[in-house]
Structure 1
């Protein structure tokens, strides 16, 4: 049951990251790279990516190790 919850949280975070990335790119195209709006989206995106890496990088690494063990 916990696995399902983890994947759901991961999916939501990935969706939010993709949304903010698109908003940042649209803002950069409309207002420039140094606009307050673009920088705002960039900073929010950085925070979410950091959260993603802290919470899910370790899990993904363990999954790859398990898959490699199955192949051998």
Structure 2
């Protein structure tokens, strides 16, 4: 498991805990959500890059 996947899992857990503790609209929850979105985007870019290379 690479570091991005570990970080994504960690942020998912933190996001769920933050939602339970602070609600969905809190600044902490929004910040964690944005960071998770960036990690997912980076992972999707890597997957696409590998897919594109395999098609050549």
**TM-score, normalising length from structure 2?**
0.83
Q: Specify the SS of the correspondent of 1:33.
A: coil
Q: How many residues were matched structurally?
A: 54
Structure 2: unaligned runs, 5 residues or longer: none
**TM-score, normalising length from structure 1?**
0.66
Give, in whole Å, the separation in 1 of the partners of 2:51 and 2:7: 19
Greater helix share, structure number: 1
Structure 1 stretches of 4+ with a deviation exceeding 3 A read: none
